[in-house]
Amino acid sequence: MKTAIIKRKEIEKVLTPALANKTVEKVFKAHGLGQTDMPPKSYLFFEKGDLRSMPAYVHGQGFDIAGIKSVNVHTENASKHGLPTVMAVIILTDPQTGFPLAVMDGTYLTSMRTGAAGATATKLLSRKNAKTAGFIGCGVQARTQLMCTMEVRKITSIKVWKFKEDDTLADAFCRWAKRRFGVQTRISEDIDEVSTGVEVLITTTPSRTPLVSNVSPGTHINAIGADAEGKQELNVKILKQAKIVIDNWAQASHSGEINVPIHRRQIAKKNIYAELGEIAVKKKKGRTSAGEITVFDSTGLAIQDVSCAYAVYETLKKQGTLREVKLL
């Protein structure tokens, strides 16, 4: 047997926002029905960053696939080494034999599956007529969040936080969003101006101190940035007044938006309303009123990686374009 080697460029052509959204929503349903096995991600810490291992097995909703992702986060990469902050490799495994079906780039896939998780939460938790979105953080992840969100909501205007005067990311993000989607854009150095008066708020920063303190009634928040112990983007007062939905308790309590307030005993497990998979399979309701504030705490799950990797693999296999080598 041979193993497929799949490059980023191939994944970019195949893993569209529509396919990513469809795949991730389906795998959250599998998770909600107990059709997944997924140990919490493990961490190796270095002086300049960390390395995470993320295994998963999905056996439901049309999936029978396993795999593992190796992913790093090194915040100085861009400025000092000309490398992405986040890089990843995924090994896709046949659960029947353990054979490595594919080795593939996971960097672009990670961004897309995270965008799709945010879009799935937006679909299930935001107001259906949402048209405005605010962005705290406007790097690569902000772009995939908007790309995937546009598949589920008709966003017509965005507000973007410029965190310092010489920040060029905000301007670049707005130019890109206007060119790609034709949305109206507004940049502000006042974070409250960005976080209020929007129906969807997306936070994608690596902050270790709360940034967002004020939101308007009826806002849905996708809290994406907190993905390691000690990270936090939202003031705990927002969590205390919101319906909190997480992707997975083991990960969120350790490294998600709720990790700091949980460990400080500012909130408890009883304050968590649901996991997103429970809402996806209708075990629990999503938004129940126009005025409630909802928060999705996204830590990034290995089931998202494995399911999206499998979708890419199957698509390329059907196209007859897989490049394979004999590894074993």
What is the C-alpha to C-alpha distance for residues 282 and 17, in angstroms, rounded to an integer?
Answer: 24
Per the structure, how many domains does the chain have?
2
Q: To which residue do tokens 């390395």 refer?
A: 51
Contact by Cβ (8 Å): 56, 302: yes
d(CA 142, CA 162): 13
Query: Which residues make beta-bridge pairs with 90?
Result: 69, 104
Is residue 253 located within the same domain as residue 148?
yes
Instruction: Look up tokens 């529509």; give the residue.
Output: 18
The rounded mean pLDDT for the chain is 96
The structure tokens listed for 210 are 């709360």
Can you give the CATH number for the domain in which 132 is found?
Answer: 3.40.50.720
Whole-model pTM: value is: 0.95
Q: What's the confidence (pLDDT) of residue 34?
A: 98
* Residue 147 clears pLDDT 90, i.e. is over it: yes
**Statement to judge: residues 280 and 312 lie in one domain:** no
How many other CB atoms sit within 10 Å of the CB of residue 319?
Answer: 11
Work out the pLDDT band at 41, boundaries 50, 70, 90.
Answer: confident
Q: What percent of the chain has pLDDT over 70?
A: 100
Q: Which pLDDT band holds residue 86 (cuts at 50, 70, 90)?
A: confident
43 Cβ contact list (under 8 Å, min separation 6): 50, 51, 52, 228
Same domain for 82 and 132, yes or no, is: no
d(CA 84, CA 75): 9
Residue 242 phi/psi, 5-degree rounding, is -110, 160
Q: What is the dihedral of CA 313, 316, 321, 326, to 10 degrees?
A: 10
Q: Is 327 helix (H, G, I), strand (E, B) or coil?
A: coil
pLDDT by residue (tens digit) across 154-192?
999 999 999 988 889 999 999 999 999 999 999 999 999
Q: Indicate if 255 and 213 belong to the same structural domain.
A: yes
Q: Degrees (nearest 5) of the Cα angle 222, 61, 273?
A: 35
Do 55 and 177 fall within a single domain? no
* Residue 269 bears catalytic tag: no
122 and 95 belong to one structural domain: no
- Supply the CATH number for residue 315's domain: 3.30.1780.10
Q: Is the pLDDT of residue 197 over 90?
A: yes
Say if residue 136 is in the same domain as residue 273: yes
- Let me know whether 191 and 230 are in one domain: yes
Residue-number span of the structural domain to which 160 is assigned: 115-300
- Residues 38, 25: one domain? yes
Model pLDDT for residues 220-250, shown as the tens digit of each residue: 999 999 988 999 999 999 999 999 999 999 9
Domain match, 22 and 160 both: no
* Same domain membership, residue 123 and residue 75: no
Residues 53 and 156 in one domain: no
How far, in Å, are 140, 147, 162, 163 from residue 188 at the CA level?
A: 19, 22, 6, 8
Q: Active site residue: 41, 69, 123, 231, which one? A: 69
C-alpha triplet 302, 27, 114: angle, nearest 5°: 55
Residue 322 tokens read as 């897989």
Q: What is the mean pLDDT of residues 311-320?
A: 98
